[in-house]
C-alpha cells in the first residue's frame, strides 16, 4: 500500500510499488474520484484497498472509478471509465450485396473462377482473418458492383 487511507487496519507500505508508480509517472485512478472511495477487500480485522488501477497523468482527469460486487471472490471488482474525446470518422455507409445477383448462372460462374484465384492468395497472409480483411472483402465488393452495373440498362 502507498497511503494510510488504503486500509482501516494495519498499514503495510510497499516501497517497490512506490518506486514503480513514481518511475512510470503514474497516478492512482482512485484519487481522481475521492468521493467514490471504497475498500475492495474486507476481513474480520479491517478493510483495505489492495486492488489497484494506475493510469497516466493524461488520462487522470478523464477517468472515474467504481466498484462492483462480484459473487466469485472476496474482493470487489473495479471498473474504470475513461472519457476520450476523439473525432469520429464516418465512412460512406454499409455495403450490402443483392442476393438476386447470385441467381444469375453467369455471375455464379465468374465468382467461382475468381474465388479459385483469390483462394491462392491466402498463402501470402499470416491468417485467414487478415486475408479476408485485406483482400477478399474488397474483391467481392468490386465484383458485385461490376455485376450490378452490367444489369442496369444503358440509355
- Domains of the chain by residue range: 4-82, 99-151
Q: Which grid coordinates are listed for 143?
A: 465484383
More confident residue, 129 or 31: 129
* Spacing of C-alpha 45 from chain mean position: 39
Which residues 6+ apart lie within 8 Å of 43 measured at CB? 9
pLDDT digits (tens, 9 = 90+) for 75-130: 777 777 777 777 767 666 666 777 777 777 888 888 889 999 999 999 998 888 89
Its pTM stands at: 0.44
**What's the pLDDT at 119?**
92
Share of the chain above pLDDT 70, in %: 85
**What φ, ψ does residue 60 adopt, rounded to 5°?**
-55, -50
Cα 76 to Cα 78: distance, rounded to the nearest angstrom? 6
If you average pLDDT over every residue of the chain, what do you get? 78
The DSSP code sequence of the chain is --SGGGBSS-----HHHHHHHHHTTEEEGGGGGGGG---SEEETTEEE-----EEEHHHHTTEEEEEE--TTSSB-EEEEEE---------S------GGGGGSHHHHHHHHHHHHHHHHGGGGSSSHHHHIIIIIHHHHHHHHHHHHHHHSPP-
Buried b / exposed e over 49-65, threshold 16 CB at 10 Å, is: beebeebeeebeeebeb
**What's the pLDDT at 155?**
60
In the block, which residue shows the cell 493524461? 58
Amino acid at each position: 500500500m502507498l497511503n494510510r487511507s488504503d486500509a482501516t487496519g494495519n498499514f503495510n507500505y510497499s516501497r517497490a510499488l512506490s518506486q514503480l508508480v513514481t518511475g512510470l509517472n503514474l497516478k492512482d485512478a482512485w484519487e481522481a474520484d475521492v468521493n467514490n472511495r471504497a475498500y475492495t477487500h474486507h476481513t474480520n480485522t479491517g478493510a483495505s484497498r489492495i486492488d489497484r488501477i494506475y493510469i497516466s497523468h493524461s488520462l487522470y482527469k478523464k477517468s472515474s472509478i467504481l466498484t462492483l460486487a462480484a459473487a466469485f471472490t472476496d474482493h470487489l471488482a473495479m471498473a474504470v471509465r475513461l472519457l476520450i474525446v476523439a473525432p469520429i470518422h464516418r465512412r460512406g455507409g454499409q455495403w450490402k450485396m443483392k442476393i438476386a445477383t447470385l441467381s444469375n448462372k453467369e455471375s455464379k460462374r465468374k465468382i467461382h473462377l475468381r474465388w479459385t484465384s483469390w483462394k491462392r492468395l491466402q498463402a501470402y497472409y499470416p491468417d485467414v482473418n487478415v486475408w479476408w480483411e485485406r483482400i477478399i472483402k474488397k474483391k467481392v465488393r468490386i465484383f458485385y458492383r461490376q455485376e450490378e452495373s452490367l444489369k442496369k440498362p444503358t440509355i
